[in-house]
Amino acid sequence: MNDKKDGAAEKGPPLALVVAVAENGVIGKENGLPWHISSDLKRFRALTMGKPLLMGRKTFESIGRALPGRETILISRDPAFVPSPGVHHAVTIDSALALAAARAEVMKADEIIIAGGSEIFAALLDRVNRMYVTFIAAAPKGDVFFPSVDWSNWEEIHREDHLPQKGDDAAFSFVDFVRRDASHHATQAMP
């Protein structure tokens, strides 16, 4: 499905960003992940199942396929992109959001997942309502970084610290955040 128009009003369920980020802010390397953490892949699957996923063209190419049980809204300025089953195409951020909201309604999904990469996170960070962050206890070399976040705008509502399990390169923490009310000005250190 190709989108037809830009600038559609934002509507639909909340936007939830899902990211795994290293201590040095790295999220990617050579269009892939610079770590292998099976536990995080399982968490990504559980968090995203049954929901529409917005992702940039490079992230889609790094995954290389539609993810079962989800619908991908791929953002690319290339109008020639050919959609496939489970993969929709939008040429702008706003048309991608409108398309994701429509798909969420059909899927009865309670949130729209912002799945990256860096360009898409940067474009949507101000509009995201929730963040599911995996903090990786490592500082690998990489070429793509999570955009800078003002953590005082975010309230940590859940945290799980984990030692590496079988198939995990490093220790990690799963931390859920919700955006603070705009009137709340408490400061919070980088988690």
Tell me which of 5, 77, 166, 185 binds ligand NAP, using CB under 6 A.
77
With the CA atoms of 142, 66, 136 and 118 taken in that order, what torsion angle do they form, in degrees rounded to the nearest 10? 50
Output phi, psi for 23, to 5 deg.
-60, -30
Instruction: Find the residue with minimal CB distance to ligand NAP.
Output: 117
87 binds ligand NAP (CB under 6 A): no
Find the part of the chain contacting ligand NAP (CB under 6 A) among 71-79, 105-113, 164-172, 176-184: 71-79
Alpha-carbon distance 165 to 152, whole Å? 31
Tell me which of 123, 128, 137, 138 binds ligand NAP, using CB under 6 A.
123
Report the alpha-carbon angle 3-59-14, nearest 5.
Answer: 60
39 binds ligand NAP (CB under 6 A): no
Question: Do residues 58 and 74 touch, judged by C-beta distance below 8 A?
Answer: no
Find the part of the chain contacting ligand NAP (CB under 6 A) among 9-17, 73-81, 105-113, 166-174: 73-81
Tell me which of 15, 16, 20, 114 binds ligand NAP, using CB under 6 A.
20
**Count of beta carbons in the 10 Å neighbourhood of residue 82:** 8
32 binds ligand NAP (CB under 6 A): yes
**Closer CB to ligand NAP, residue 126 or residue 185?**
126
**Closer CB to ligand NAP, residue 27 or residue 149?**
27
**Closer CB to ligand NAP, residue 75 or residue 101?**
75
Chain residues 148-187 in contact with ligand NAP, contact rule CB under 6 A = none
Helices (H) and strands (E) in the chain, counts: 4, 10
| Residues 6 or more apart in contact with residue 130 via CB below 8 angstroms | 14, 15, 16, 17, 111, 176, 177, 178, 179
Binding site residues, ligand NAP, CB under 6 A: 19-20, 27-28, 31-33, 55-59, 62, 75-78, 91-93, 115-120, 123, 144
